[in-house]
Amino acid sequence: MTTTHGPRTARRPSVTDVAKLANVSVGTVSNVLNRPERVADATRTRVEKAIAALSFVPNASARQLRAGTITTVGAVLLDIRNPFFTDMARGIEDRIALDDRTLMLASSDEDPKREMRYLRLFEEHGVSGLLVVPSTTEIDHLLAIVDRGLDVVLLDSPSPTPRISSVAVDNIEGGKLAAQHLLAMGHEEITFINGPHSIRQCRDRLAGVELAVQEAGKDPAEVITELTISSLDAAGGELAISSVLDEQGDAVPSAVFCVNDLVAIGVQRTMRRRGLEMVGHMAIVGYDDIDIASELALPLTSVRQPHHELGYRAADILMTAGTPEHVVFQPELVVRASSDPASG
């Protein structure tokens, strides 16, 4: 045995090294790698031995440069710590696995700069397609990517243009459902802890709330108090509700609608820490209906959206890439004790 454990800095073995060791040409090595049936058994075995001996790992960059093919799909999500998005990611993986693709994931943290950076990174690496939960309404950069010939599917956001596919949930309807419920429960005011309006979902949910208020014959300006936070997680919720409480000397708003469940959890946590009663005093409605919404100390009323299916469908569109498609799912209100003590 003459295996040489080279120093860690040694160049990776290449097809040429394998070819030399196996006494064949590089073409044959390539064939063993890609079309083994074209190679005689004896030769193939010899090459495979050489590959093992050198622990050769093909260089994906070189292969891709030459062959142009790639089996990787890129996805940029808003927040990887939000179960809603990781469930979606799982949906994507499940679908693309059927086509033998693998998923590379990145999180923009709702920052358009980061989104651009990752999009760029994926594009430079030549991914075969891109799934994006946009962090801003401005989608020129996505159109530019499409112009360059890459397939893009908007996730969890309707497409403002027929040229880009999208899979979304009706956020106006979602906001409406939440507000209608709170109004029906007799609340005269709704505090809406929302995200930045640059995020489409946030704008739409507000529009839905306004619609519900109007349809109830009331004035949105009088009913709705909107607070905007930049980080759509528990910390954001804590911040928002704290500012309200601080301002009002712990007088609690009668109804709070949160842009997502994580934010609602932050609100609940803050209330509890301050020793403030929620049941009977403050109704809370979240959004997404993440898995644990029903398991919370105060089970959370929430607007349910398909998680897994959203990702699966988007990936499906990407994989079958024909003319752009635009799918819209309908949300559903799930009432629990956080807004209705009488429930479950």
Partner DNA sequence: GTGAAAGCGCTAACAT
Partner DNA sequence: ATGTTAGCGCTTTCAC
Map residues 53-92 to x or -, x wherever contact with DNA holds by CB under 7 A. ---x-xx--xx-xxx-------------------------
For residue 126, the partner it binds in its own copies, DNA, none, with Cβ less than 5 to 8 A by kind, is its own copies
Identify which of residues 27 and 341 has a Cβ nearer to DNA in the complex.
Answer: 27
**DSSP per residue, 200-223:** HHHHHHHHHHHHHHHHTT--HHHH
Site for DNA in 203-222 (CB under 7 A): none
Residues sharing a CB contact under 8 Å with residue 128, sequence separation 6 or more, in sequence order = 69, 70, 71, 72, 73, 101, 151
- Residue 62 makes contact with its own copies by CB under 8 A: yes
Task: Identify the residue among 26, 43, 53, 58 touching its own copies (CB under 8 A).
Answer: 58
Contact predicate 331/305, CB 8 Å: yes
User: How far is 307 from 321, CA to CA, in rounded Å?
Assistant: 21
- Number of Cβ within 10 Å of residue 295's Cβ equals 9
- Which residue carries 């994006």 as its tokens? 132
Nearest-angstrom CA–CA distance, 339 and 335: 7
Q: Does 296 bind its own copies (CB under 8 A)?
A: yes
Instruction: State the Cα–Cα distance between residues 14 and 34, nearest whole angstrom.
Output: 15
Q: From the list 25, 27, 36, 65, which residue makes contact with its own copies (rule: CB under 8 A)? A: 65
Q: Name the site residues for DNA (rule: CB under 7 A).
A: 11-12, 14-16, 23-31, 33-34, 38-40, 42-44, 56, 58-59, 62-63, 65-67
Q: Name the site residues for its own copies (rule: CB under 8 A).
A: 5, 8-10, 12, 55, 57-65, 72, 80-81, 83, 86-87, 89-90, 93, 102-107, 117-118, 120-121, 123-126, 144, 146-149, 234, 265, 268-269, 291-292, 294-299
